[in-house]
Amino acid sequence: MEEEGVQPPAAPGIDVFFALEDGAQRSEVARIVADLRRAGVSAESDHAGRSLKGQLTQAGRLGAARTVVVTAEKAILRAPGAADEQVLLGELVGRLVP
């Protein structure tokens, strides 16, 4: 492809990345990630124990279309070009499945 001057297709990004602050309900987030995957949504969360800043950087590296920042009390849904939106954890699957 290089010899022909054709660029390979870009690797597809993921649909949603969960960044967790200290005190976030990790087991609940794991359940949500599993539910999203069953519904055909590509979802990931941090497993390396990165700082919030590091997790957001990882979301960018993965090409996440949306990022959910989960705190002890709330979830904040972030999408490029849109204002941050607070969402209850129980409502995330319904909001993120097309």
Residues 6+ apart with CB under 8 A from 37: 43
- Across 2-65, the runs of DSSP E, i.e. the strands, are 16-20, 43-45
Buried b (16+ CB within 10 A) or exposed e, 50-63: eeeeebbebbeeee
Over residues 13-32, the pLDDT tens digits come to 899 999 999 999 899 999 99
Cβ contact 64:16 at 8 Å: yes
Q: With cut-offs at 50, 70 and 90, classify the pLDDT of residue 6.
A: low
Rounded to two decimals, what is the model's pTM?
0.84
Is the pLDDT at 1 greater than 80? The verdict is: no
61-98 per-position pLDDT tens digit? 999 999 999 998 889 999 989 999 999 988 999 999 98
Q: Is the pLDDT of residue 56 over 60?
A: yes
- Give the angle subtended at the CA of 86 by the CAs of 84 and 89, to the nearest 5°: 130
pLDDT of residue 2: 63
d(CA 90, CA 76): 13
